[in-house]
Amino acid sequence: MIQLENVSKRYLTKKALNAVSLQIEPGHIIGLIGSNGSGKSTTLKLIAGLIQPTAGTVLVDGRIATRRICDKVAYLSELDSYYSFFTVNQMVDFYAQTFRDFDRKKAKNMLDFMKLNGTQKVKHLSKGNRGRLKIVVTLSRNVPFVLMDEPLSGLDPIVRRSIVKSLISFIDLGKQTVILTTHELQEIEPLLDQVILIKNGGILAQENVDDLRSRENLSLTDWMVKHYGE
Amino acid sequence: MGDPFNASSPIYLQLCERIKNKMVRGEIRPGDRLPSVRDFAIDSGVNPNTVQHAYRALEETGIVEKRRGQGTFVTEDREILQRMRSGLRSRHISAFVQEMSAMGCSEAEMLEGIRQFFKTKGEQL
């Protein structure tokens, strides 16, 4: 379980999160949605232990999220962060050496599923294939929590679709929980069973997607627009 | 990936509808095993928890039954299936009639329209 208790985060003078309390139960795929600058990435980075809260506590399975929480949390950055001179296989090797929970067999299966060529240099990959490769190395870790910051942004519909499909195929919700941020709501909606709506550094709502649909008769996009009051 | 879902009704209900429609059309027959939750989820691009929810909802109506360790099977109880079929039929009819009434059609006009439809386009169905 992930718990945020009264968490605030300030970058110099700018408030990114404001006294947020949140509980995330395991076994779900959760969408963290909100406009640009609402605090989505900050929330993920706090859970991944990559940044520390200005106030409050972040707990992952009861442990305070520091850098060492990475043995429980896999994090996919929205930035492209890798050594561009690596080949695809070398990148997989690098991850396998870095993380003890890395599953090489799963990585191999996913590379095949994504039709990625292991001998190709990362810097020569198309943007779509770099997006796919990031997914492969993140999902190949057998960790209870998988965080993905904008896994679909800037990718074409075909790549987005293959990523959505790979998420369903390679995640084991009996053992894993996924939290992802996205603006591609329409595409990702059937994949989510929960959403957390965030605005100006505060949580507006946390909902089960199907409950939301039966109660409000709205798709996620419409629901978000309604809450943002635009 | 499967067809898109409509925006307003819960996805698990739409999955139930799809499965029922397949039963009515005979694509899934009494006693058949439904795909595993995981396969169905991958196939339709949906969260496995949502598929689970749909299977559970179907199970509650008796249309399918779970057999421990074997999977989920369509019931062989013809009566339940018959009831589902007539339920589905009356729902479609009432939706049709509502739409037509909203357009100001009378009963006679509707019936005449349907007859006309089958005369001209019926054989294409």
DSSP string covering B52-69? HHHHHHHHHHTSEEEETT
Tokens representing B28 are 């899934």
Contact B49 A192 (CB under 8 A): no
CB contact under 8 A, A210 and B12: yes
Mark yes or no for CB contact B47/A192 under 8 Å. yes
Contact A210 B7 (CB under 8 A): no
When pLDDT is averaged across residues B28-34 and rounded to a whole number, the result is 90
Q: Residue ranges of the alpha helices (H) in A85-180?
A: 88-98, 104-113, 127-139, 157-170
HSE-CB for A103 with a 13 A CA cutoff:
15
β pairing state of A29-33 and A177-181: parallel
Q: How far apart are CA A136 and CA A138, in angstroms?
A: 5
Between A35-44, A211-220, B31-40, the lowest mean confidence (pLDDT) is in A211-220
Contact assignment for B8 to A192 by CB distance below 8 Å:
no
pLDDT of residue B122: 61
User: Are the beta carbons of A173 and B49 separated by less than 8 Å?
Assistant: yes
Instruction: Supply the pLDDT for residue A8.
Output: 93
Q: B101 to chain A nearest CA, in Å?
A: 24
CA-nearest residue to B6 within chain A is A219
Spatial separation of the C-alpha atoms in residues A158 and A147, rounded to whole Å? 22
| A217 contacts on B by Cβ (under 8 Å) | 8-9
Confidence band, pLDDT 50/70/90 cuts, at residue A28: very high
Could you tell me which chain A residue has the CA closest to the CA of B5? Answer: A190
Q: Between A28, A165, A190, which is nearest B11 by CB?
A: A190
Q: Could you read off the pLDDT of A106-164 as tens digits, one per residue?
A: 999 999 988 999 999 998 998 889 989 999 999 999 999 999 999 988 888 888 888 88
CB–CB of A1/A61 below 8 Å?
yes
Q: How far apart are CA B111 and CA B82, in angstroms?
A: 25
pLDDT confidence bin for B124, thresholds 50/70/90:
low
A63-64 and A55-60 strand pairing: antiparallel
ipTM > 0.90 (yes/no): no
Q: Write out the two tokens for B120.
A: 């001209």
Of the partner residues B8, B46, B47, the one whose CB lies closest to the CB of residue A218: B8
pLDDT tens profile B74-116: 988 888 888 888 888 898 899 999 999 998 989 999 999 899 9
B1 and A29 within 8 Å at the Cβ level: the answer is no
Are the C-beta atoms of residues A19 and A6 closer than 8 Å to each other? yes
Q: Is the pLDDT of residue A205 over 50?
A: yes
A190 vs B contacts (CB less than 8 Å): 5, 11, 44-47, 50
Size of interface A-B (CB pairs under 8 A): 60
Tell whether A222 lies on the interface with B, counting CB pairs under 8 A.
yes
Q: Which domain holds residue A115?
A: 2-228
Our CA-based measurement puts residue B108 at a distance from the nearest CA of chain A, in whole angstroms, of 34
Residue B1 has pLDDT above 50, yes or no: no
Task: Indicate left, alpha or beta for A62 from its phi (over 0: left) and psi (-120 to 50: alpha).
Answer: left
Q: Which amino acid is at B21?
A: N
**Looking up tokens 């509980």, which residue turns up?**
A23
pLDDT single digits (tens) A64-118:
999 889 899 999 988 877 778 899 999 999 999 999 999 999 999 999 988 999 9
Asked if the Cβ–Cβ distance from B50 to A193 is below 8 Å, we say yes
Q: Among A28, A190, A217, select the one facing B8 at the smallest CB separation.
A: A217
CATH of the domain at A8: 3.40.50.300
Q: Vertex A178, ends A172 and A183: CA angle to 5°?
A: 135
Closest CA to A73 of A160, A167, A143, A175: A143
CA pair distance A124, A127, nearest whole angstrom = 9
- Domain tally, chain A: 1
Percent of chain A with pLDDT over 90: 65
